[in-house]
Every structure is written in structure tokens, then in C-alpha cells.
Structure 1
């Protein structure tokens, strides 16, 4: 107990001040709970009317006893305490009383009860529960100490007679700021906290305040302190003769927080008013400026001082005056609120679009409008944007190209008149599904295009639109644009240009190109006529020779029976050479075939060797060897057989002419090679040993009608490049590292 002098001092003061019993009971229990050996302490007073002990104070209560409450009695315990003064809990639990049942239900078994009457003439007991393993011997002198202090408390001089009856939390402080005594209100504020923790509730500089209060001999008021979310306002009153200070406080949490919020709100309102980009203004009922925020300079070029006293309508556009003023006055008078959009003149002379929300301030008793508060903002950019949207909508409506709007779920949300006309849909018909307008492959491509447009913003491709109600499909060139709404939702606009005329022109152009290619093949055939004649004459001459020999053998059949074998061999040779001539004719007919191109997968090596055979006689005539470097494992290419053969023949004949020009009368070589590239395609190279071409000639060699031959047309390489590009490939020429010219033909794979 020596470690808790403040607690005992406080209890004694409360005891002699005669404060309510509950406050004194709390004080003595709090003093005992401050001992480390004590687990819990309870004070109970005798209830004469019911014959049991009842709890006092705000501390924890024991549970009810066992049995019928109407038969409850603690008379045996009362008699034992009067006889012995104190009892061990084991002795109490052995008595036949209501209190022993309460101990058992609370599982309290280690400690003692004291006979202690805090109220004169009213018996009471103090229950002290100690921790397990702690001896009970020391509780005897605790009981004696409490009894002695209780006996002499009435004889002590009352140091501060007002302290116990002060409704505000109050304490006495010594000259160093240490707590001496606490009143009941302050103990209630502390709750279960020890009295020494009262320092936490004092201002952090309370020691300095106490010294100043005593030295100056005056009270110090309105000192704010905050603890555990509570805000206390302290007043320090000096007692110079006793060198102590009476400290009183009142809880002002709600008041201080409300004042802080009000101050914050006023500061925030001032910050908003001074820094907002909107113009906040006050007006008389007829529209005259009373005040304006600094935004008036930014928005209108006027300082608030300049606007005060001016009529706001003096800045309005003349066309807006008649319709706005009276309508605004009527709305403010009737509803008290009005919003309007209008044009207002800047100090520089140009007009801005403003949106103003006004609210009427009325006189309390009459209800008359005495002031108008307005918030105005510049919406010029928004009005211009809406105007641009309106104009854009008119452009989309009048656009001759079909325009479709598609949302994130692939639903068509809008069709312009051109799109409805192309799809043969009336104005009132519902929107078709996207899957009804495109084939499955095109729909998959469109899905991929949406993802690309989402990243790059735009995607384009060629496709075909199918009217949902049937009819011929329409070739279109699609441009898909990705947009994002204000809420972040993705949507798309699809512009489809009708490419029917272009498709017809391209078909006509292909027909013209095919005609021109056929003409070039005829020219080539004429140039190869001697070689072709040689190819046909050789088998025909062999057929004649074998036929003549077979006739002679038939005439000598009677004389030479073995002649029949020779005749059989001759007929086989005739058949062989006739088939050879037929193959030559068939190749020529295929080469001269006229008609639409037929794209198919081709064996490049087979087509290349056929072109070499057609050029073989001319190469042999000029002592040119065509060296073939063709791998056997090349994948097929996708092209027209006749046109590809025509390109290879053009390149080989040009190489033969180049070799003949550079090495007349001498043997030369042409290397024909093919390989698979890393770009998923095939390359065919024709390398000659001719004089080659300089840079200017390389730039013009593919130009139509450009030729270096005296009798050339200048269409071979130009047509060859067009044919290869039509296959999706490329044809280019470059100077070879070893001299001569390298022509490289790139072909795509199917």
C-alpha cells in the first residue's frame, strides 16, 4: 500500500468530504487494485431490508448466488464478521449464506473479506482477491491500516471543503505540479485508470503553469489539453499561502471539434472562393454586382472591385437579354433557383459561353428576395465541342460511304443512310447482327482488327458486305476506328467504302494484262520459232527414217524372217518420237493459252525446268550453258503456271542475250538457282555473265517500253514485274558481285 499514497489520500479525502458512498467505494477498491498482489477488490454494504450484502460503486459485480433469491440471506456472514473482523474466503465458502454461492459462481477462492463500514451505522464488507501463490498474512495489517484510517478520517481537518462537491473534474496540485487530491468527478473521468495517470489529462506544460500561477498570484484560464480523444479546458486557481493550486476542467470535446470544423469550413470556403476557376458572385435582386471572387479576372478580365455596382446584364449578348432576364427573375421568385446558359462579353470584346446557377437569399419573415448568389463557369469549349459533334453527325448522315457504329459487345448501334441503302434496310427496321453482314472468315479478321485498332487506334482491310435480307455481296474497303467513351467504355466506328467499281476496273485491268501477256508470248514464240521448228523437226525426221526402214524390212520378210523384229523396233521408235513431238506441241499450246489466270499450288522446280527446255535450243545455238541449282525439297508456290513460266522464259532469254553480247562466239554460263528464305517464301535467281547495268539503267529497266535492244519492245521486264506482284511477290535486279546482272524473283508460299 505504500506504493499508492495518492490513491489512499484521495480515498481519505472523499471519506471525510462525505461524498456519495459509491464514489468512496470505488476509491478504496481502486487503491487496493493498485497493489501488484491484488487481483480484484469489491465493496458491498449491508442491505437491511433484504438481509444480504449489495454492491456499491461502478466496478465489476459478483454474479448472483445459488438457490431461490427470495430465500437469500447473508445473516451468518454478518455475524461471523462482527465476531472475527475478517475471514478467509475458504471460511466464507463454508458458511450457509447467499454470498458464499456468489463466490463459488465467480470462481473466487483465494483472499479475505474485511468488516469495513464506509458509511457510519451501516455495516459493509471489503472483498480482496489475491493472486495464486501469494500469502494471506499481509492482509491483516492492510485491514488494520484501513480501519485505522477510517477511524481517524473524521477528525482530520478538511483541506479543501469545496473539492468533494465540485461537479467539474478537479484536483489539487503541489508547487511542483504533482497531484495531491482528486475529487469524485475526476475519478469518474479516470474510470479504471490509476490516479497517477491524471497527469495525462493535464496540459503538457502544467508544471510551468502551476509555477506561473503561484508566482503571479492569478488564475490561468482556458488552457486546452487532449488525451484519449477527449479535449479538456483547464483553469488553474492559486492558493499562495498553502503553495498549491486548484485545477478545474470541463470537457469541451464537442465544442472544440465543432469550432475547429467551423474554422476549417470558413478557411476552406475562403480557399475555394479565392482559388476556384468558377466565378462566385453576389447580386442585388435586379442583377447588380455586390461582390465577386478573384476568378472574375481570369474569366472576364475584370477585377472584383471593378464589377461591384455594375449590372451583370450589361455584359450579356444583345440577343440573349430579352429571353433571359425576366425568365431568371420569375424562376428565382417562384422556385428560388435558376440555371441559365448565355453569352457574356469579355473585357477584350469577344464573347464567351457561360453557365450560371443562381440561388435566391430571402428575408426571414417576409420571404422577399434580398440577394442572389451565383456560380458561373466558362463552357465555351463544351459548347464548341457540342457544335462540332452536331456538325460531325450531319457529315456522317450525309456521307456517301456506309458508316456503322459498333459497341464493345459487337452490337451494331447505328447505321447511316448510306449503310442502310447498301444493306437494303428500311429506316424502321431493327439493327442486324454483325454476323449477318460478314462471312465467318471476315468476322474473325474483324475481331482481330478490333484488337489492333484498340492498340493503334485504326485498322483497315478489304472485305465483302452481305445484305441481311439476301442479295449479292458487295466488295468494300473497311476502316475500323477505336474510340473510348467518357466512362472508359470502348466502342468502334466502321467506315465501309463500296469498291464495286474498283473491283470491275481491276478485273478489266487483269484482262488487259492477260491480253498483253498473251501478245508478249506470241512475240516470244516468234523469236523462238527456229528453236521450236528444230524441236519438232527432229522427231518428225526420225519418224520418217524409221518408217522407211520398216517398209524395207517388210519387203524382205519372205527372205529374212527376222525382219519382223526390226519392224517392231521401228514402230516403237516411231511412237516414241511422235509422242515427243506431241509433247512439244502441247507445251507450245499451253504456253500460248489465252484466258483467265488460274492460281494454284505449283512445283517450282517442274515449272523452272519446263522454261529451261523451251529456251534450250536458243542457249545451245549461242554456246550458253544453263546451270540448274534446284533443291528437291522446295515447298510449292501459289501462282498461275503459264504466267510464271512466261516470267522465267523472259529472264532466261534476257540472260542469254546478255551473255551473247558480252562474249560473242564464246562459251558462257547462266546460273539458275532457287532457295527457301527466312521470310516464309521462295527466291529464284537468274545470274548471267553479261555486261550488267549501271545505277540509272537499273532504275529504268522495269519501266514500260524501256529497252537496250535494237529490236526489243521494252515490255518483258515490266510485264514480268506486274505478273509477280500480282502473285503477291516481287521482282528486282542488282549488279552481281562477280559481274553481270542478277535478277531475283520472290514468290509467296500458299
Structure 2
């Protein structure tokens, strides 16, 4: 706007106007300015007048005079202020009165309110939570579009609908409590079940705030924000159930932090380990023996980290002393939401199983002893022959020695012959003693004695026991037992009994298939794949597929006088040593029995 000198005189109309105002001519040039406007312009004075007028004030003045009407509330930005101008025409004088007021607070407030309304609309239209308005009686006034996603209702369908019709009948009493809390405190949060349009119920958490009348303070409206917490409630319920299971579980449950410290013991663990509720948590070193703890630290943690779980048998030591408790141990590795690792130990008390196994071993040992007695009866003639031979030799050498003693006076060789006879008597007496000693060992009754054994030595002992029976049946036992086989861990008598049973079965099979003819069975042993394999191979009639499947079944036998317990008992004994006993048809006919035993590791 071109600058023009402003008259110093001010009309009374302008001078008395408390609002900033000025008179403009037809060209929108300033004619007069009042004091309020000069104060608004500040030190710069009329030179900044164009900056405080609307940018299109020239056109506004012209339109005001031509149309003979006032133009109101025209906005102009003057620095940080917002001015609202009114243009009032004076057609007779050809001038316009322009008045303004500082509307900065009003305009900025309206802009902020409009921005808040837009933001509220954006939030309500896009949030996954349900934002709703209610009257004091609990009827929907409005709802955000999330009502469709959460409840299956569009906002228009919810308007006027009572909230209580959607709430589960068991939670409706909470609505009365919520209304009282809103009236007293103005704010309330509740969790409850709400019915979806499809008929199923969801868990909601709703935070409500009361809107009060400015003058009376009465609640006129309620604003609520609701969210679906069904997944959280179910997770919490599952956690409560799991916690109840852990608390009531008869297995021992221990929680362990990443540093290896015990942080929790369930009641079963406290009872078994003798730890009271107020006693401090024990250390792992105080619960496990040194070897078990070393195995847990060296193998357990790493395996659980890689595979999620690790299991082993161990023994737990009660803190108050006493006998250790055998347990079947499982170490589990878990990840928290933040990625932290923690662990749990689940230990099942195997005391009863250990007692049952010990009882089974005793029963098995009794059965094996009975079987040995039966075998001794069946081998009686052979054993009598083996003992009679050295006894007969002893008698012969004793008689000869007596005769030589009577001829000492005239026979110079008599003394030498007597000495030789006594030496032979000693040898045969020792042989008879060994036979009796071997029989006593074979018939030994008592707990099994696990020890490192030379398989070849035990096998040769079994061959000697059935040697007479084999000879009587014209059966030759060919042994291929190399020296230097690695030791196995077993009970000598029981292992010898197994091999004797296999050899006697092979002898019977040969005699059945080839009566009156000389035959042979082969006894071999070799090491490989961490085990020693002992094989007894006969040339008998063999077994059919059906017989092979049932050969180890208790009380199954093809012998008229047999009980059918020999092979089933033998398999049980071998499996008790950690090995296996298998039967298969041999090449060229007959049956091959393979006994595999794990090699005893070198200490």
C-alpha cells in the first residue's frame, strides 16, 4: 500500500473508540488513526500499518463501498498476533471505518481445538481399542469403528444400546460398582466378560472417566476406553493352572537362574530334601554328588541350550543328611520375553523303582540259582565222571605206593616210585578240588557281583562244565576265543550260566538233527563297536520264522521235558548287564545265538 501522510487530527468518533481503528478513503489510504491503533503498531508507527491490515484490504474497502454493506471478521496476521477486522462503509463521505480486535487467544484456541478434534478423530478411527461415550445410565452414545472388529457391531448399531446387555451375567454387579466409583472419584477401571455378536465371550479391560456438569457437578457423560485382554487372561489362567500343577506335583521341581542358583523349590522338593519354607535356597553343589554335578555342568547345560532338554539319572542329597535319593532328572532351558535364559530341573523320585529293580534282581537270581540246580542234576553223570577220574587215579597211585613201600629193602627204585606216586596223587587231588570248587562257585547263591571279566576265561569255564555231556553226544565244541579281549562288566556265575545254557541247547540241537553221528558246535568271541560278541553256532534243525519270534518267550519250548525258561532268563540276565541276546538262522543250517555285552571302559 502506498504510504501517505496521516492527519494528526482525529475525529471524536475514532478518539473515543477503545478498539484499534482508522478511516480509509476510496483508495484504501489511511485518513485517520486512533490512539488504540497507534499503540498496537508500537514504535514503528504508521509505517507498519499495511502489515497489520488484511492482505486484500484494498479490494475489501472497494467492495464495502460499492455494496454498501459491512464486512466482518476478516483475519490478518500481525507478527505473532491474529487480528480480526471489521470494515464499515460511509458512502456519503466516501470512506470506510476499519476496526480490529486482538483475537490471538481465540483463533489459536480454535485452531488447537480443531487440531485436537482431527487427532481425536484419527485416533478413534484407527485405534484397535474401543473408545465409546455413554450416558449416566450406561447406554451407548457413540463408539469408535473398532466396535466392529472387537464386538461385531457397527457404531450406529450400538447407539442407545445398554452396556449391561453385552456384559456377562456374572460380571453385571461390577457395573453398579463402576457407576458408584465414577460418581465418587470420576475414574474407574474394570475387567469383565463381554458378549460378541457371534455369541462367544471376550475379556475386556475398560477404563472410564466421568464428564461432569460445570455448575452442578453431576455426571452427564462417561468416556470409556476398552481393550480385548482375552489372550492375556487366558495366559494368566494357564500360568495359574501350571503353577498349581507345579505346586501339587509329586515330582521335585527346581527353578534355576542363569547364574546356576536355585530360586524356587516346589513342596515335593522341599519335603524330599528336608528344606523348610523359611530356610535359604540350597546350592547345586550341596544337592548333587561331585560326579553328578560335574556331568550336569559339563553336559547338561550345553545340551539343554541346544536341544531344550537334557535327561540323566542322578542322586540328590538331602540338606539335613541321610540317604541320597535316586532320581530321574530332566533339565529344561527356557527363554524369557526379553531373551534372558532360565532353567528348571524336574526330578522324579526313583526310590520305589530302585527297590523294585533290586527285588526283581533278587527274584531273577533265585530263578537262576534254581536253574543252575536243575542243570547240575542234568550234568550229574558227567560231573561224577570228572570227579571219579582223579579219585580213581588217586586210589591207583596210593595202592602202587604201598606196594613200593613194602619192597624198599630189596628195590632201590622203590623210594623214587613212591615219590612220583605221591606227586601224581597231589595233582589228581588238586584236579578234583578244582572241579568241586568250580561246582561250588557255579551253585553260589547270593547277590550278584558285578566285576570286570575276561569273556574267554568265562567261556572256557562253561565249556568245561558241559564237556562230558558233549562227549557223550559225540559233539565237539570248537572254540575260537582270542586272548586280549577287552573286559566286560558282569556277574561271573550268571554269565557262565548263560553261556552254559546256550552250549547245552546247541548240544541238544545237534543230537536231535544228527542222532548217533559226530557233530560240532562253534563257540567264538570278538570285539567291535564298543562291545564283545559271543556266538554259539550249532548244526541242528534250526527254527522257523514263527519259532524265532517266540524263542525268548517265557514257558515256550520245543523240548518235551523243558520248562521254557532258559532262553528268556538268559536274555533277562544279559539285558541286566546292558547287553542283548539274539537268535537267527545260521548259514548252512542250524541256529546262531549272539550274546553282545558292552565293553568295560578303562578307569
- TM-score of Structure 1 vs Structure 2, range by shorter chain: 0.7 to 0.9
Q: Say whether residues 1:535 and 2:386 are aligned partners.
A: yes
Equivalent pair of 1:682/1:748 in contact (CA under 8 Å): yes
Q: Which residue of 1 aligns with 2:448?
A: 597
Q: Distance in 2 between matches of 1:600 and 1:579?
A: 27
The alpha carbon displacement at 1:511 in A equals 1.1
1:507-526 CA distance string (max 9 Å, x none): 12211111110110111111
Deviation at 1:563, TM superposition (A): 2.0
Following the alignment from structure 2 to structure 1, what is the Cα–Cα distance between the partners of residues 211 and 147?
Answer: 22
**Mapping of residues 268-287 of structure 1, within 5 Å:** 273-284=124-135, 287=138
**1:361 to partner: Cα distance:** 6.2
- Choose the corresponding residue for 1:705, options 537, 555, 575: 555
1:440 is matched with: 290
Matched, 1:681 2:531: yes
Structure 1 residue 461: Cα displacement: 3.0
SS in 2 for 1:487: coil
1:308 and 1:691, CA in 2 relative to 1: closer, same or farther beyond 3 A? Answer: same
1:726 paired to 2:579: no
Structure 2: unaligned runs, 5 residues or longer: 1-47, 52-112
Please identify, of 451-460 and 266-275, the stretch whose mean Cα deviation from structure 2 is larger.
Answer: 266-275
Partners of 2:417 and 2:117 lie apart in 1 by: 129
Q: Cα distance 1:268–1:581, how it changes in 2: closer, same or farther (>3 A)?
A: farther
Following superposition, the deviation at residue 685 of structure 1 comes to 0.7
2:521 counterpart SS class:
strand
Kept in 1, the 8 Å contact 2:143–2:158? The answer is yes
Q: Give 1:266 deviation, angstroms.
A: 9.1
Cα distance in 2 between the residues matched to 1:427 and 1:364: 57
SS of the equivalent of 2:282 reads: coil
2:26 is matched with which residue?
A: none
Task: State the Cα distance separating 1:359 from its structure 2 match.
Answer: 4.7
For residues 436 and 570 of structure 1, what CA distance do their matches in structure 2 show? Answer: 69
Query: Aligned to 1:503, which of 333, 343, 354?
Result: 354
Name the counterpart of 2:258.
408
Kept in 1, the 8 Å contact 2:181–2:187? The answer is: no
CA RMSD of aligned residues (A): 2.9
Structure 1 residue 453 displacement after superposition: 3.5
5+ residue gaps, structure 1: 1-164, 169-261
Shift of 1:333: 7.0
The one of 402, 414, 419 equivalent to 2:269 is 419
Q: Is contact 1:360–1:372 with CA below 8 Å preserved after alignment? A: yes
Give the corresponding residue for 2:96: none
Contact 1:333 1:369 in 2 (8 A): no
- 1:489 match: 340
TM-score normalized by structure 1? 0.61
Residues 691 and 264 of structure 1: is their aligned pair in 2 closer, same or farther, counting only changes over 3 Å?
Answer: farther
- For 2:580 and 2:123, the matched residues in 1 are separated by 68
Question: In the aligned structure 2, how far is the partner of 1:713 from the partner of 1:312?
Answer: 81
8 A Cα contact 2:579 2:597, kept in partner = yes
> 1:589 Cα deviation (Å)?
0.8
Moved over 6 A (4+): 262-271, 361-370
Q: How many residues in Structure 1 have an aligned counterpart in Structure 2?
A: 491
CA distance in 1, matches of 2:294, 2:213: 70
CA distance in 1, matches of 2:205, 2:572: 64
Q: Which structure: larger Rg?
A: 1
- Alignment deviations for residues 94-153 of structure 1 (CA, whole Å, 9 cap, x no partner): xxxxxxxxxxxxxxxxxxxxxxxxxxxxxxxxxxxxxxxxxxxxxxxxxxxxxxxxxxxx
Q: Distance in 2 between matches of 1:265 and 1:649?
A: 98
Q: How does 1:138-287 map to 2 (within 5 A)?
A: 273-284=124-135, 287=138
Q: Quick one: distance in 2 between partners of 1:675 and 1:530? A: 33
2:565 match: 715
Q: 1:272 to 1:632 in 2, by over 3 A?
A: farther
SS of structure 2 residue aligned to 1:432: coil
